[in-house]
Amino acid sequence: MTDRPLDGKVALVTGAGRGIGRAIALGFADAGASVCCAARTQAQVEATAEAIRARHGRAMAYSVDVADNGAVPGMVAATVKMFGRLDIVVVNAGVNGARGNVSDTDPDAWRTTIEVNLIGAYYCAHAAVAALRQSGGGKIIMIGSGIGHRGTAGNSAYACSKAGLWMLTRVLAQELAADRISVNELIPGPVETELLPADPAGRAFMGASEWLKQPEDIVPLALFLATQPAVGPSAQSFSLMRRDK
């Protein structure tokens, strides 16, 4: 593989303002892709795009709430308008804002978690498929969670949202196979970002032997998924965890 395996490709990364999404956006740009960096906070996506340009990459920033279906198609259209095509979508924007046992959680925060992590992912895929087809195929990479496979007490909304995302991954993969569009889940495992609880009690779910990563540690697996052949893996879950999901 060359050191720029994504030369000529166009990637859209949601949640690219910080954390894992920012690292993937930078990694994909370093690999040659033109990248649309999307999230709600304009200053953060501008900063990611600027960092890419400072490394001589091609990037644009787009401010969007992925839970707003009226706004999501504009993100895809702006990417295609700027770079001429779309090849890779990283569905990464996510929140975990409803921690606590079911009996204690705020119903509005619970709903918002589902709206961003699951319904937002659906909106992004729904809006992107036509552009991917237009490119003759592509990759959708869903950033999932081990919690969506095994469940964790005190994380019901997040667990349900990510369990739904994994099912969306498998269904979409079946629907898009004939279009040469692969859909896979990437499970990062715990990563030092704003999403991970800072206090030790909030990290108790991790397990003593778990690999606590930096956002950059996720990039090699994201690049692997983005560079597989059209006949390569789809409907699969790839995990960087040290235990069974």
Ligand X SMILES: NC(=O)c1ccc[n+]([C@@H]2O[C@H](COP(=O)([O-])OP(=O)(O)OC[C@H]3O[C@@H](n4cnc5c(N)ncnc54)[C@H](OP(=O)(O)O)[C@@H]3O)[C@@H](O)[C@H]2O)c1
Diameter over CA atoms, the chain: 52
Which tokens in the block code for residue 210? 């778990």
Question: How far apart (Å, rounded) are the C-alpha atoms in residues 184 and 235?
Answer: 5
Q: Out of 32, 40, 154, 211, which residue is the one contacting ligand X (CB under 6 A)?
A: 40
The least distance separating ligand X from the CB of residue 144, rounded to whole angstroms, comes to: 7
Q: Is 135 or 143 the residue whose CB approaches ligand X more closely?
A: 143
CB count within 10 Å of CB 102 equals 11
| Stretch in the footprint of ligand X (CB under 6 A) among 25-33, 80-88, 125-133, 191-199 | 191-199
Q: Out of 14, 79, 113, 169, which residue is the one contacting ligand X (CB under 6 A)?
A: 14
184 touches ligand X by CB under 6 A: no
Question: How far apart (Å, rounded) are the C-alpha atoms in residues 152 and 207?
Answer: 12
Half-sphere exposure of 103 (CA within 13 A, CB side): 0
66 touches ligand X by CB under 6 A: yes
Question: What does the per-residue mask of binding to ligand X show for 20-39, with x meaning CB under 6 A?
Answer: xx-----------------x
Beta strand pairing call for 237-239 and 58-63: unpaired
Question: How far apart (Å, rounded) are the C-alpha atoms in residues 115 and 136?
Answer: 30
For residues 90 and 26, the answer to whether their CB atoms sit within 8 Å is no
158 is catalytic: yes
Q: Which candidate, 216, 197, 194, places its Cα nearest to that of 22?
A: 216
The least distance separating ligand X from the CB of residue 1, rounded to whole angstroms, comes to: 25
Q: Out of 26, 61, 132, 143, which residue is the one contacting ligand X (CB under 6 A)?
A: 143
The least distance separating ligand X from the CB of residue 7, rounded to whole angstroms, comes to: 26
Which tokens in the block code for residue 226? 């983005």
Catalytic, out of 62, 122, 123, 158:
158
| Stretch in the footprint of ligand X (CB under 6 A) among 10-18, 73-81, 82-90, 170-178 | 10-18
User: Please, is 245 exposed, middle or buried when counting C-beta atoms within 10 Å of its C-beta (0-12, 13-18, 19+)?
Assistant: middle
Q: How far is CA 129 from CA 67, 118, 188, in A?
A: 17, 17, 24
Among positions 77-136, residues that touch ligand X (CB under 6 A) are 92-95, 116, 120
The least distance separating ligand X from the CB of residue 193, rounded to whole angstroms, comes to: 3
Sites of contact with ligand X (CB under 6 A): 14-15, 17-21, 39-41, 44, 64-67, 92-95, 116, 120, 143, 145, 188, 190-191, 193-196
Residues carrying an active site annotation: 158
